[in-house]
């Protein structure tokens, strides 16, 4: 059975700050549905939410920060499934099965949220930036697999990069994946990668 893990406990928020965050996220989702990501701005969010522009800047820092907050909020459901959902994504399945399930879920998550994920990249975020929670989860599962001689720290980072948002988004848009079912191809590629790394018979 997989080792229990935590994904970090958020710092407590003041009641007024928590209310503002919920109002801003809800308003941002409404605007995203109405005008699309290209027209969602800090000024428009402040105007529609009824909160001051300074509040919006303090909360998000930049326009890209709005989309990062939306993406993080949506990703909490995936994190909860990893922590306590049914196997193989949640606890209770063999580590290789959990690795495959996690990568598959990450690929689908980014495929379903491509517009928001792309809008988080404002030029200051270099492609291939780390996803620490992914790396921690992958490291825990690799240690359970027991790979003699493997540098699990390095290997976990390399596998986490394979699921990194900017990298996957770049590949989603690449001409080499033009055509039907690019998401299914990524899922199959992740399964093949994990099985080869973990020495699964028949990989």
Q: What is the pLDDT along the chain (203 residues), one digit of tens a residue?
A: 445 454 455 566 788 888 999 999 999 999 999 999 999 999 999 999 999 999 999 999 999 999 999 999 999 999 999 999 999 999 999 999 999 999 999 999 988 998 898 888 865 544 444 467 899 999 999 999 989 999 999 999 999 988 887 777 777 776 665 556 778 888 999 999 999 999 886 54
pLDDT computed for residue 81 by the predictor: 95
Say if CB 44 and CB 60 are below 8 A apart.
Answer: no
Mutual orientation of helices 132-145 and 95-112 as an angle, nearest 10°?
160
pLDDT computed for residue 1 by the predictor: 45
Which residue has tokens 């996220």? 25
Say if CB 74 and CB 119 are below 8 A apart.
Answer: no
pLDDT computed for residue 131 by the predictor: 61
pLDDT computed for residue 128 by the predictor: 42
User: What is the pTM (predicted TM-score) of this model?
Assistant: 0.80
How many beta carbons lie within 10 A of that of residue 188, not counting itself? 13
For the chain, state the CA radius of gyration. Answer: 19
pLDDT computed for residue 180 by the predictor: 60
């Amino acid at each position: 059975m997989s080792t229990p893990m935590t994904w970090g406990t958020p710092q407590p928020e003041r009641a007024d700050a928590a209310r503002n965050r919920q109002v801003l996220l809800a308003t941002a989702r409404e605007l995203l549905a109405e005008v699309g990501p290209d027209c969602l701005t800090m000024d428009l969010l402040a105007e529609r939410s009824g909160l001051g522009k300074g509040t919006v800047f303090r909360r998000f820092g930049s326009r890209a920060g709005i989309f990062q907050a939306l993406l993080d909020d949506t990703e909490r459901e995936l994190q909860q499934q990893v922590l306590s959902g049914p196997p193989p994504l949640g606890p209770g399945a063999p580590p290789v099965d959990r690795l495959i399930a996690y990568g598959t879920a990450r690929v689908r998550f980014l495929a379903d949220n491509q517009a928001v994920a792309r809008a988080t990249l404002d030029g200051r975020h270099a492609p291939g930036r780390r996803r620490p929670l992914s790396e921690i989860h992958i490291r825990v599962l690799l240690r359970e697999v027991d790979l003699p001689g493997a540098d699990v720290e390095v290997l976990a980072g390399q596998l986490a990069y394979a699921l990194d948002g900017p990298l996957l988004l770049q590949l989603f848009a690449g001409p080499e994946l033009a055509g039907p079912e690019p998401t299914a191809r990524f899922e199959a590629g992740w399964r093949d990668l994990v099985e080869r790394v973990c020495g699964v018979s028949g990989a």
